[in-house]
Amino acid sequence: NAGVMQNPRHLVRRRGQEARLRCSPMKGHSHVYWYRQLPEEGLKFMVYLQKENIIDESGMPKERFSAEFPKEGPSILRIQQVVRGDSAAYFCASSPPGQGLLNTQYFGPGTRLTVL
């Protein structure tokens, strides 16, 4: 099992451009979480998705940010019209559909977004 995959690992965008971050969960995992880590801060929850459904988006900024987890393919975190404050490391985690001890979140390596 290759683990949670994220690409690209590094992404540079100019202000006003769009950023698309991809996350492929571990095989058999149907739950995906996105977290953001700003410089000098801990990871902060953004959104929790299951296949084709957004379950909890309480951590998502109200504008410019969106996320999806289609039936086929990776989960996508999309940031429109990026600003310098969006520069951060974005981590994806996935978990299986079990409960209790089975429900461990496994993290990807992260995508480091730099906005010039």
Partner 1 sequence: AQRVTQPEKLLSVFKGAPVELKCNYSYSGSPELFWYVQYSRQRLQLLLRHISRESIKGFTADLNKGETSFHLKKPFAQEEDSAMYYCALRAGGTSYGKLTFGQGTILTVHP
- 2 lies in the site for partner 1, by CB under 8 A: no
For 13, 43, 60, the CA distances from 18, given in Å and listed in that order, are 7, 22, 16
The CB-of-63 to partner 1 minimum distance in angstroms stands at 21
- 109 lies in the site for partner 1, by CB under 8 A: yes
The one-letter amino acid code at 27 reads: K
Q: Which is nearer to partner 1, 43 or 115 (CB)?
A: 43
For 19, 20, 52, 78, 86, the CA distances from 81, given in Å and listed in that order, are 8, 11, 25, 10, 10
Tell which positions 51-80 bind partner 1, by CB under 8 A: 55-56, 58-59
What length does the chain have? 116
- 112 lies in the site for partner 1, by CB under 8 A: no
Q: What character string, x for contact with partner 1 (CB under 8 A) and - otherwise, covers 3-42? A: xx--------------------------x-x-x----xxx
Question: Before 8, cis peptide (omega within 30)?
Answer: yes
